[in-house]
Amino acid sequence: MTEKVTERLEVLPYSFSVCRISNEVKVDMTQPFCFAAKTDREFSLVCLTEHVPEETLEREDGWRAFRVAGTLEFSLIGILSRISGVLAEAGVGIFAVSTYQTDYILLKGYQLEKGLEALRKAGYMID
């Protein structure tokens, strides 16, 4: 039995970049949509393309994004897995970012419409 999709997805009208940077001091954390991750090996940043710091080690532009609408409870299981599965089946690669309240899924801009169409066919409502 197939589960009915209940998640609504909101497409964001911005272009994003995924970067590897050397100095977190150069990141303007006051900007909207600024996702940072630091490990023992790297410092990664996802931000609006217009806000990429000048001194990046590497960057990849051309990403678009959507988010799962509303606030997701930690007890919910499989939301990101189902979305990524639909997109993988359609041949669309993703870069996912999770926040306290929801999940953001980035796709290369040239694959956005293909990905959204696959999600619509799978029953997702898209704003």
Q: Give the tens place of pLDDT for each residue, 55-114.
A: 899 999 999 999 998 665 555 566 888 999 999 999 999 999 988 888 899 999 999 999
**pTM assigned to the model:** 0.86
Class of domain 8-126: alpha beta
CA distances from 116 to 20, 53, 56, 71, 123 (A): 27, 30, 30, 21, 11
| 3-state secondary structure at position 119 | helix
Q: Map out the domains of the chain as residue ranges.
A: 8-126
